[in-house]
Structures are given as C-alpha cells and as structure tokens.
Chain A
Amino acid sequence: MKIRAFIFLQIISSIIYAQLNLGKQLQFANELFDSSNYFDAVTEYKRLLFFDDRAEYSWEANYKIGLSYKYGGFYDLAINYLKISELNGNTSDEIFLSKIEIVRCNLLRKTIATAFRLLDEIETDYPTDEFKDEINYWRGWAFMLNNDWENAAMEFSKIDSNHELKTLCMTVEENKYSIIFAKVISYLLPGSGYIYSGEYLQGLLSFGWNLLGGYFTIKAIGEQRIFDAFVISELGWLRFYRGSIEGAEKSAESKNMQIANQAYNYLKNKYEGIKP
C-alpha cells in the first residue's frame, strides 16, 4: 500500500514538474508580450504550442499570437491565429473574445463589410444583454471607419445617450458638406458649388469661364458659324460646365475627407477609450 502511494506521488510530482516548465514558458512569453516585444513573443508562444501536447494553452497562446501579429500590422496572420484560438476556446467567453478580436482586425485592415457581417453573426450567437453593449460599440466603430457618422452616432446612442463618440459623430455629420447639394447648385449656376465648399477663387473663375464660353458660342451661332460654335462649345463652354459640376463634387468630397480625418486623428491621439 505504501509503495503504491509512493509510486503514485512520484508520478504526480513528475507531471507537475513538466507542467511547471510550460507554465514558465507561458510566463516568459507573456512578459515579452507585456513589454511590447511582439516578434519574440510570437516565437515563444509558438514554442509553447509546439511542446503543449495536451493543448492546455492552445486558446491563450493562439490568441496572444493573433494579438501580437495585430500589433505588428500583420492583420491576415492575426485573423488566422485568432480563428484557431476561437476553435480552441474552452469557454464561451474565450470564444467571444476571439471573435471580437477578429472584428477589430477587420476594422484595422479596412475590410469593414466583413466586420459588419461578423458582428451580425456574433449578435445572433450572443443575444444576451451582457454582450450587447460591446457589439454595438464595435458596430459604431465600423460605421465610423466606413465614414458613415450618422449610423455610428445611432449605434453609440444605444449604449449611452451621452456617449462621447456619439457626440463626436454628430459633430462630424453636422460639419460635413452635402455633395448632392453642391452638384445640384452647380448644374443651375456654374461655380456656385465651389463657393458652397469655400473655394471662392475657383468658383469665380469657373463662373467666368462658363460666361465667356457661353458668350462666344451664342455669338458664333448668331453669325451662322455653326462649326465654330460646335468647336467652341465642346472645347470651351461644355468642358468648363462639366468641370464645374465635377469640381464642386470633388471639392465637397475633399472638405468632407478633411473633416473625417480630423475626427480620425482625434480618435487616434486623444480618445482614451478602447480602439480597434
């Protein structure tokens, strides 16, 4: 009896010793990860996975490898490892974490449509209130990165009606120029679209060219010089008329891009909440 107990204790202590070894390896890898040494962290997590016969650390190691690649900008690799961690998740919380990280990687690599699809799937798999806020939060981010500030504001308002990001989104939406309006007024009065976007000199010049082109075209028609009228209108008047509409659209788009980029800079440098 004593011998059997003794043998049993010896086997158990040998097993524990081997696990401590992997435990130390995990600790070492985590230290590298925490000190932002992501390249080496990936190596050590891969080493852990290789020697982990029982796949005890499978979720954590794959998850951390995915995060490391994400921080290094290797989003495709990150998503691959996060998918493996999702398959090896032991609890529903672990699986949820992996899925959300995959969404965040999709946001960073600008595959927003995929991020939306994944969020819809997560919402179906996790319908309880516990996860709702987080899903709405990342959906809001997806809208923001997709330059859709109105819908982003709606998503953040579902979390909190006074959410900081809701205020930001609404401010951006209010400051944006209407591209359709710029184009329509340019159809009616060439150059007005530029002035609406704040490009006063361009607006005046465009109006001037259209006026000049129109005058010479009509004068040529009046003098029965039809071919000349055709050439002047095609190479002069219509060119600047089309240019005015196109220019108004581009000008409004350019201004909107500047406004959006200001918001993105704020998110990157000043916003203290969780980011992708």
Chain B
Amino acid sequence: MISKLILFFFLSAILFAQSEFKRWEKVEENYLINKLQRQNYNYSFDVISGLQIFYKTVISDLDGDNCPFEPSCSNFFIQAYKETNLIQASLMFADRFMRDTNIFNRDNYLQNGNGKRIDPIDWYK
C-alpha cells in the first residue's frame, strides 16, 4: 500500500511533464516509418541546378553516403550559389571540401538525428 502511495505521489509530481498551453483537438494516429532523409533542395531550372541533378544521379547516389555534413557538399554549393554569387560559392565549396576530408576531429559541429554534422551556409556567407 505504501509503495502504491509513493508511486501515486511520484506520478502526480511528474504529471504535467508535457505542457498544455493551448487547447488541442484529437490527432490522427500515425504508424508510418519515417526515416530521416537527407534534405533535397528544390531549385529553379537552370544550368547549375541541371549539373547538380546530373552529378547527383550519375555520381553522388552511386559512390555511397560519404559526406559527413548536412547539407551535403553538392547541396552546400548549390545553396551558396543561389544565395551569394558563383565566386563566393566556389570559395565556400573549396573550404567545405577540405573540411570534409578532416579525419581528426569534428566535435565543433553539432549532430542531427541522422548522425550528420550540421554545417549550414549561413555561417560562411
């Protein structure tokens, strides 16, 4: 009886671990398996994006998932090109490519759920 009482008070104390700060409605159950996928960026139809799609299909998808970063190196370049210019994007890519080959220590990068190191282009613009 005492253990049940202790359990009751313990449960009461942690009862509101999930917070209800807004009214909520019924949610649909979801049984689907959703494995975390690499982000695929949707780009406009131009030469650079076309080259990237070609590279992805013919080379990148076939040589294994070697890039430890998120976004991957090719996606990093495309994003950088869209948000800056070709020269700056090329320099950012060159730096990223060298960091990709770092076999010593990557602890300064946080990891996402997929085990990839988070390295967004915003840090380098």
B-binding residues in A (CB < 8 A): 36, 38-39, 71-74, 76-77, 80-81, 83-84, 87, 108, 145, 147, 202, 205-206, 209, 239-240, 242-244, 246-247, 250, 253, 257, 260-261, 264-265, 267-268, 275-276
Contact = CB atoms under 8 A, between A and B. Distances in A.
B62 A244 contact: yes
A205 B14 CA distance: 56
Main secondary structure of the interface of B (DSSP, over half): loop
Contacts, number: 85
Given A36-B26, A77-B17, A246-B65, 8 more contacts: A39-B24, A87-B4, A205-B57, A205-B62, A209-B59, A239-B64, A243-B64, A264-B31
A204 to B, nearest CB: 10
B125 to A, nearest CB: 30
B20 interface: yes
Contact of A206 (B7, B29, B62): B62
B15 A72 contact: no
A267 B31 contact: yes
Interface in B1-52: 4, 7-8, 11-12, 14-18, 20, 23-33, 35
A74 B20 contact: yes
Contacts of B62: 202, 205-206, 209, 240, 243-244, 247
A245 to B, nearest CB: 8
B66 interface: yes
6 contacts: A74-B24, A76-B18, A108-B29, A209-B63, A242-B64, A268-B28
Contacts of A206: 62
B107 interface: no
Contacts of B64: 239, 242-243, 246-247
B84 to A, nearest CB: 28
A84 B11 contact: yes
B15 to A, nearest CB: 5
Contacts of B17: 76-77, 80
A143 to B, nearest CB: 13
B15 A80 contact: yes
Nearest to A108: B29
